Amino acid sequence: MVNKPLLLAWITSIIAMLGSLFFSERMGFIPCTLCWYQRILMYPLVIFLGIAFYQNDGKIYKYILPLSVIGMLVSSYHYALQKIPSLSEFSACTNGVPCSGQYINWFGFVTIPFLAFIAFTFITGMMLVQWKRN
């Protein structure tokens, strides 16, 4: 029987990873410091969730939840830096690309950190479902 929460979380992490690579490698968007932190939290999820899905390891949520919740916090902080100008003085980005920059701004609110937040939140939700199943 297919473990749907694991599968959906894994697919989400793959899409998030490929999306970030598309934006940087194909579109030429240079990642800021907070973007790198989000990548550091997302990329291992692809491997961990892939292995867990393949082995049908329903207890992987113990290792995924800390990463995905921290990812939610980092991406929400990053999004707040983009959308609330007064927070820019508290930015973690002091060199290079500013964290308050917006390469994309679809519909006036969808930015790259917003997309990361959605992915981390969905993965967190799937891991909570997995936790409840166990």
Condensed to tens digits (0 to 9), the pLDDT of residues 2-60 reads 899 999 999 999 999 999 999 999 999 999 999 999 999 999 999 999 999 999 999 99
In the chain, domain spans: 4-133
Distance CA 32, CA 27 (A): 15
Helix (H/G/I), strand (E/B), else coil: 106: strand
Beta bridge mates, 106: 110
The runs of H, that is alpha helices, within the chain are 4-21, 33-55, 61-83, 112-133
pTM of the model: 0.93
Q: Tens digits of per-residue pLDDT, 73-112?
A: 999 999 999 998 888 776 767 677 888 888 999 999 999 9
CATH entry 1.20.1550 includes domain 4-133? yes
